[in-house]
Amino acid sequence: MPTSRKAIIQHLQEDYFDLIIIGGGATGAGIALDASSRGLKVALVEKGDFASGTSSKSTKLIHGGLRYLKQLDIALVRETGTERATVNRIAPHLCLPEKMLLPLTEDGTYGKYSTSLGLFVYDILAGVDGDDRRKMLSKEETLAIEPLLDANAVVGGGYYAEYRTDDARLTIELIKKAMTFDAVAMNYCEVHGFHYTDDEIDGVRCTDHLSGEPILIKGRRVVSAAGPWVDQIRKKNDSVKGKRLHLTKGVHLVFPREKFPVKQSLYFDEPSGRMLFAIPRGKVTYLGTTDTNYSGDLDRIICLKEDRDYLLNAVNRIFPSINLTPDDVISNWAGLRPLIHEDGKSPSELSRKDEIFVAPDGLISIAGGKLTGYRKMGERIVDLVIKKDHDEISQKLKSVYTKELPLGSENFMTNEEVQDYITDLSHRISDLGLDPYYGWYLVTTYGKQSEKILAQLNTNSTPTDLAIAEVRYGLESEMIARAEDYFVRRTGRLYFDIESIDVIRSSVMSVLSESLEWTPEQEALENKRLDELIFDATHYYDVEFSA
């Protein structure tokens, strides 16, 4: 497996691949792992960092999709429910059980009986058993679990199982795993055109954004898993015919835990009937999401004042005692859902099912879908490729076994083992002089790979020493190529620990600059980009950036 960027570029240029994947989000990463583990020779290119598109901007739940039950999308509920259990098994440190409380109110969208029946059907479709099965709670039980709710409005609650993840970390681990099966993956490498032989696509023309060099990659099949950019890629071969994308924007706001001290995750409705999540995570609680049509800049998605105010109004209505104001919001993120257009449907009514398009020149595109369904989407695409190329590649193919492939080096066997490891690491980290919070943070970010970070620390370590150890690990093992890769996708610090950035920034930049051999101009550019990301995560605009 090549690890240096130079060696990766050489491989991409010299090898002939069975499958070239455009896009390093969860979908592309899932395809890469399925294909490479079945024996195909895979190349994956991503124009930004891995997971820099929608796959770092989701609600970060691996979920069975309760809301799809309302749309009667039974097959989707069943598939996401089953997949949820699989992801929990192969990556329990990245798919943590999270009980969800659905409070019922006098004037709410959900009644007691319909909720009870809905959650019952959901449990059956999603294959939920044991303690995870839904419980219906009385008013008193609901308020005991979440005292912040309005005692005058709540009449009871539904209590059911969901799973929390880190979308970007999940994507990175999928790519790392695919690389163990010799997939060649490169970030900051944008596809801008295709290569043809006899009117059939057999390659992609790219630019390495870090060196500015052109790269031609040749292969048998090309799949575009470019998320919100799928139609831009389809425009390159003039294949946007029939079904097309419909982008909707979703915003999340982040609050310090003490300002929004919910004891546990909630799924609640706002007056129009839309459902929102409030999810405590480490030092913060995050709230989301909006769902509005989008036609602005795909590369700079921001939070508008109206997005923020909509979420604040909704949350202050359901928790009237907390009075959250714009000043309480410490960070935000905004992402695009790459949904499939259906005439006359509103954003929330559009199906979340994935769709595959095959163009006459052979370009395969996949869009729609959920993070939760990444494994099945990968399987469907690879099945299609195999069907097309069976004669040429059948001799080297294995059957799908991504269900059995643990993510994140050594795997945990159970959720309890993850909890025990968090407790153990919290003690060890506090023995090194650090806040025990970092025990939880390391395990839920890196799993057992945390040992490689811990091994670099001595007693009397500071948060900066920890950050430097993480950066060194990320440079060596996770293809960090730019400063934002560390601050946003590898660690989630921009969203979940934004205050830490001021403290560690200059030391982290020094290590990156030395290791990546930045010129003073490059370092200035990296700092400017980071300033822009911090600005967008902490500011609220009047209008979108235009496309």
Q: Is 48 in the site for ligand FAD (CB under 6 A)?
A: yes
Smaller CB separation from ligand FAD, 22 or 253: 22
Smaller CB separation from ligand FAD, 428 or 482: 482
Q: Is 190 in the site for ligand FAD (CB under 6 A)?
A: yes
Residue of 103, 157, 228, 439 that binds ligand FAD (CB under 6 A): 228
Q: Is 59 in the site for ligand FAD (CB under 6 A)?
A: yes
Q: Is 159 in the site for ligand FAD (CB under 6 A)?
A: no
What is the CA 502 to chain-centroid distance, rounded?
A: 25
Instruction: Report the C-alpha gap between 267 and 69 in whole angstroms.
Output: 15
Residue of 337, 376, 482, 493 that binds ligand FAD (CB under 6 A): 337
Smaller CB separation from ligand FAD, 235 or 390: 235
Amino acid code (one letter) for 242: G
Region near ligand FAD per CB under 6 A, out of 16-24, 138-146, 437-445, 468-476: 16-24
Site for ligand FAD in 240-259 (CB under 6 A): 250
Angle at 367 between CA 362 and CA 371, to 5 degrees: 135
Cβ count near 389 (within 10 Å)? 16
Q: Is 315 in the site for ligand FAD (CB under 6 A)?
A: no
CB of 253 to ligand FAD, least distance (A): 12
Residue of 41, 78, 134, 370 that binds ligand FAD (CB under 6 A): 370
CB of 352 to ligand FAD, least distance (A): 7
DSSP 432: T
**What are the CA-CA distances from residue 264 to residues 149, 415, 424 (Å)?**
12, 18, 23
Backbone dihedral region for residue 212 (phi beyond 0: left; psi -120 to 50: alpha; all else: beta):
left
Cβ–Cβ < 8 Å for 230, 27:
no
Q: Is 24 in the site for ligand FAD (CB under 6 A)?
A: yes
- The continuous run of DSSP H or E covering 506 comes out as helix 499-515
Region near ligand FAD per CB under 6 A, out of 39-47, 115-123, 214-222, 409-417: 39-47
Residue of 371, 443, 494, 501 that binds ligand FAD (CB under 6 A): 371
Q: Is 311 in the site for ligand FAD (CB under 6 A)?
A: no
Amino acid code (one letter) for 489: R
Smaller CB separation from ligand FAD, 52 or 105: 52
Q: Is 174 in the site for ligand FAD (CB under 6 A)?
A: no
Q: Is 229 in the site for ligand FAD (CB under 6 A)?
A: yes
Q: In 372-482, where does DSSP find H-type helix?
A: 374-388, 390-393, 415-431, 437-446, 450-454, 463-477
Q: Is 221 in the site for ligand FAD (CB under 6 A)?
A: no
Q: Is 225 in the site for ligand FAD (CB under 6 A)?
A: yes
Angle at 119 between CA 117 and CA 247, to 5 degrees: 120
Q: Which two tokens stand for residue 374?
A: 């990444």
Smaller CB separation from ligand FAD, 60 or 246: 60
The residues facing 280 across adjacent strands are 285
Region near ligand FAD per CB under 6 A, out of 24-32, 139-147, 177-185, 213-221: 24-32
Q: In 18-96, where does DSSP find H-type helix?
A: 26-37, 66-70, 74-90
Angle at 58 between CA 55 and CA 62, to 5 degrees: 95
Smaller CB separation from ligand FAD, 76 or 137: 76
CB of 61 to ligand FAD, least distance (A): 4
Region near ligand FAD per CB under 6 A, out of 101-109, 129-137, 267-275, 334-342: 334-342
Smaller CB separation from ligand FAD, 15 or 190: 190
Region near ligand FAD per CB under 6 A, out of 56-64, 419-427, 465-473, 520-528: 56-64
Q: Is 63 in the site for ligand FAD (CB under 6 A)?
A: yes
The residue behind tokens 């130079």 is: 6
Q: How many residues bind ligand FAD (CB under 6 A)?
A: 38
Residue of 5, 17, 23, 87 that binds ligand FAD (CB under 6 A): 23
Q: Is 27 in the site for ligand FAD (CB under 6 A)?
A: yes
DSSP 544: P
Residue of 43, 53, 176, 304 that binds ligand FAD (CB under 6 A): 53
* Helix/strand/coil for 134: coil
Q: Which two tokens stand for residue 490?
A: 């590898």
CB of 190 to ligand FAD, least distance (A): 4
Smaller CB separation from ligand FAD, 300 or 396: 300
**What are the CA-CA distances from residue 420 to residues 202, 280, 381, 424, 455 (Å)?**
50, 20, 38, 6, 19
Instruction: Report the C-alpha gap between 378 and 257 in whole angstroms.
Output: 37
CB of 92 to ligand FAD, least distance (A): 17
Cβ count near 1 (within 10 Å)? 14
Q: What distance, in Å, lies between the first and last C-alpha atoms of the chain?
A: 38
E strands, 74-226, where? 96-105, 135-138, 154-164, 184-186, 189-197, 200-208, 214-224
Which residues would be at the binding site for ligand FAD (CB under 6 A)? 22-28, 45-48, 52-55, 57-61, 63, 190-191, 225-229, 233, 250, 289, 335-337, 369-372
